[in-house]
Structure 1
């Protein structure tokens, strides 16, 4: 079963890094669009996702045909990663759509269905089918079931939204031009987060401590991003579509929720290390403090992770992601073992603080703006290409300002 875990880990990691650029950052950019433009963006993002997935599959077939790798195990890894990307990308699109429509109950049920299906399919794969691809197929099945539930239970899923769209080519080109860099920035951010786990082989005597710490922090981060964040994102998205006057207050609430989650992390962090016998307090007390601070600061941004994109801070998010990745990569060049752990913990904490400061400043700037300048790029689009000219039906929802 260990080979299946490794194979799944490779496919899932490749897919996780590629999913957001492949969907043109739809997970965050779509939340502040009007309903008509959301439908247009859904169609464009699905087309982009399919194109990227097919491209990966074609490259995989070329690799297999030319014999670029002699390992039967890895010959089709890229093909399965591409297939996984297609399903995972669609799942991201579906989650973004129900978040945009403020369907929190549907979101909760979809997450529950995914969790239950994942437990059942993974258990079945472990018990009855031990092939390398077993866990990949198990996870793809769970994601597909969750997507189907969203589509058929709401009749407003991403595929339905895309079917209703009538995309104007000039708007589509502009959307792709503006969204592609945001997707790349998201991929860079995800890659730098993956770097913390990739450091494990270089940690030496503190590898066990580092691995246990990351598991606790990542687990609490999942709670922040997948359980707490959607409620705040729905409220912030609605506020931004209405002008953004209260955005600074909403961002402060998101950061406060993340800090509260981080405060809850500390006793869990200490207890898990003590129980596992991995607490290096006697030999490295300062490292324990640094990693604990890293956990608190990292969780502080977990609830507000989409805020810079939603606030229109694409340039800030790009430079934040790029410099963070550069510092993480640079740490691998200069340090090893305990020194590397210190470097990564300090880098993560510093960039988490910079993230919070940048999000707060962006929200404050937006709050001070006049209503007509609150979200200029979207207003400019709608002025240049009115909805009526697109053939859309008049919109009757109360939360659309444009």
Structure 2
């Protein structure tokens, strides 16, 4: 028995930090990844894709958003898609699942709205045991019924749930939608596929989080999703064979404590970001926490290299903080010995050296004045 385990598609998700163009591209890719999952199924000879909750970001999506993932699944008529509710799209009365049921679904898409064993594959005697969230948060373990759920002798029992494994992560997280850490053993499951955690995670030999197939958050290392899991069950008592497949397009990286004190630091930051995906910088999103102190020349390099070139190269460049300008009286000679611009620059420098909120604003204004004057001189030359 072979199938794909995926979860947390969260169709309709918004990203407040992104501009309109980037937001549209990120949302479109969350739909496009469904086609990649279908193609992966065909490539691996898989006929069943199990989606462990949070197909949608919200319980009340608009009609277009509601039908977009279904229509992409429809394109793969040779693949059976099995969906369960998650905490973002719980099976509320007149909610997303009721609307989908009324609208009619392709024969290859099955919504599991009630707990209980369902024959998944007769040839392999594989039975699916879905856990079904009726509310966003519950305090009881909805997988507990699996312990007593009856299936034929020597059946392959496959659990599918959306929640927090007790003892994994923070205690506050495991209070909601809890899943016993040893549920697979208690219920005699060949495999327990989970959703809610957005990165791939192995709980034990038979219990896994697949993670979201399209990354949706900044991380300092790996574990941010962008994968799907192909599961092979050699037999009832044999441990499952797990292979992870890259399905995501975008790469999200968070860079903490980027301190810039020289032009070399600025160039190193550019090289670091470009090295994330040298052949495809347009698929990179970066969030960098920047600080430091730069001279007038190095600040101009930062402006041109990072704020202009890099922001145009990557899909998104999100910067928290900025380097401060290090300028003194000698630097003011760039504006000449006198005149209105020189006088304004002297006042800004004096206020910036006084510190405080007003000093910070003055420093930023002086920085803009230096950059403007430098660009003006370059254009004149």
- TM-score over 0.5 (shorter chain): no
TM-score by length of 2: 0.29
Give TM-score scaled by structure 1 length: 0.28
Which has the higher relative contact order, 1 or 2, with Cα contacts under 8 A spaced 6 or more apart? 1
